[in-house]
Structure 1
Amino acid sequence: MSISMNSQSALHEVESRCTQERPPRCQSLCPLGLDARAFLGHAAEGRWSDARKQLERYLPLPGLLARVCDHPCEQGCLRGDLGGAVNLHGLEIFCTEHLGVQTRSLPMPRKQKRIAVIGAGLAGLVCAWDLAGKGYPVTVFHEGDPKAQLLSCWPVLAGAGAAALDAEWEALGRRGVRFEQASTDAACLQQAAGEYEGVLLDAGALPELAPAEDGVDAQILHWRDNICCAGWASVTPTGHRFASASRQAGQGRSAARTLERLVAGVSLTAARDTDERSLYTELDGIAPVERVLPVAEVYSEAEARQEAGRCLQCQCLVCVKACVYL
């Protein structure tokens, strides 16, 4: 049977609305794009090495972020009204404490273009992590204790998370990230812009130097010349300012991508995914299952597997169920 051009166009229009290949809501809401569905699938089956590899694939500073992340993924979890969102935060902490690093970074040829990061906030460190992992020489300029900004925002890193902070700091060093004491003022920023091919200004660490967030393109975070800016504090409707770890880390990664394009002289906007649709999943017939809470501060392995098993492993089978050929 032949299909008219009008029919073909109609089919393509319908197909364009399909969300089957889109990520589930938890992944869409994660600024770092963590594939939580895959992570939870491994965890539910006790494959902790594979679960940890998933974290290492998507998350910079994974042990640190597992501790401080405000887990926006849970806000979109479809289990929310069916027993409570899956406790991604608790499971990430268990996984990073239960296992050490599971992947080995391949040695990257050192690139000639150098990157400077002004301010040792979370956005700056994530940017440094990503670019150093791709072979760029990165220097982080800071005043005082380079860990001070993180500790002031997330006191847990001075307590239960101290070991994670130390481990990830050593990992930054192994990637070749250098830390240098400096007066992080306008003169330092100007000098870095002249001596380095790309510069990131960490707005969380140095808000007095940073431009207003609404004056910078939210997608590419390019400020001016060879300078990007990322890591602004979040503001509640009542005006309260706070540090969102997931948002700052996500901005650090976006800025790293822009800086890589900037030093390469290519488009800063091409091929960046702007489709915000999430995978559609039917919930009819799914029974509520209550959230598993750890007896101690951190999950036991049995508790972690049980909680991970609550994940719905979201997928859309509407077409499959309706079509005899599928």
Structure 2
Amino acid sequence: MSVHAPDLHVPDLEARITPGLEAVEDRLLEAVQGSRDLIDELTRHLAHAGGKRIRPVLTLVCAQLGDPDRALGEQVLTAATGVELTHLASLYHDDVMDSAPTRRGVPSAQHLWGNNRAILAGDVLFARASRMVADLGEETVRHHAHTFERLCVGQLNETFGPREGDDPVEFYLQVLADKTGSLVAAAGYLGAFHGGAGTEVADVVGEFGERIGVAFQIADDVIDICAEGTSGKTPGTDLREGVDTLPVLLLRRREARGTIDQAGRQILAKLGEDLSSDEALRDLVLALRSHDVMEETREMARSWSNRAVAVLDALPRGEARTALEAFADLMVDRLA
């Protein structure tokens, strides 16, 4: 599979990290197989379906903040592969939790092989990622384990929902930080750490990664409603499944505060109706698209992206920082 660095507005840096991305891709495809044929077909299913590989990109960019001789070294490449393998493993579990029929334009693993096998495939990939990062030392093992814990806690919190008295919007943002931000943060942290940039720089880019991961997921909430055919699923799928994504939560907050308009009330009323028909779902999606809550959601995505970029003020100006700023823009420029 051919891989290229995204446009990060620094051609020389992009050229330097492209061989690293190619090496990570080779290692990833090797890591998802190694058992009997029937198991390999399952564990390599999503890796072969492709993906943005934004986490390895971030790892390799952040490694550029350190020692040039270590930026594409064995430890950095292993870290980048381990993080992406962890992400792949989490997708198998996510699709079971969400009963998702497709992923990355192909049938999901649980749709093809059933829930039990999909869960076990995710466990196998988590185990292989853990074996991989074990070669990187105690600090990395601890960091990876903490990230894995946050992934699972975030998923569990999503299923339980907020406690009485919790702000549902703030609770949701914390779920996004745990489920998505934590692994993006690990990608940045481990790249800088194993690239020889030191723990202070690693902490900075880790915080950048967490914030940009939240921005990415908020943008996905907009795309789920506003983008036709670009998100890999029917617009409004989350609404049909009863999942309150950020636009709906913001409307509910307006309702609780007594600031909601009539159009917003009608949207919330429609959410309580039968959305099994395509026509009903389409009407609800169109109503949301025309409501100003979508612009509020876009602004929250941009705000989290801007907060991520602000963290980079602690870094010296240079190619890597410019690339990280461009990376932040890429995470939200998908907004419809």
When normalised by structure 1's length, the TM-score is: 0.32
Larger Rg over CA atoms: 1
* Relative contact order, higher structure (CA 8 A, sep 6+): 1
Structure with greater helix percent: 2
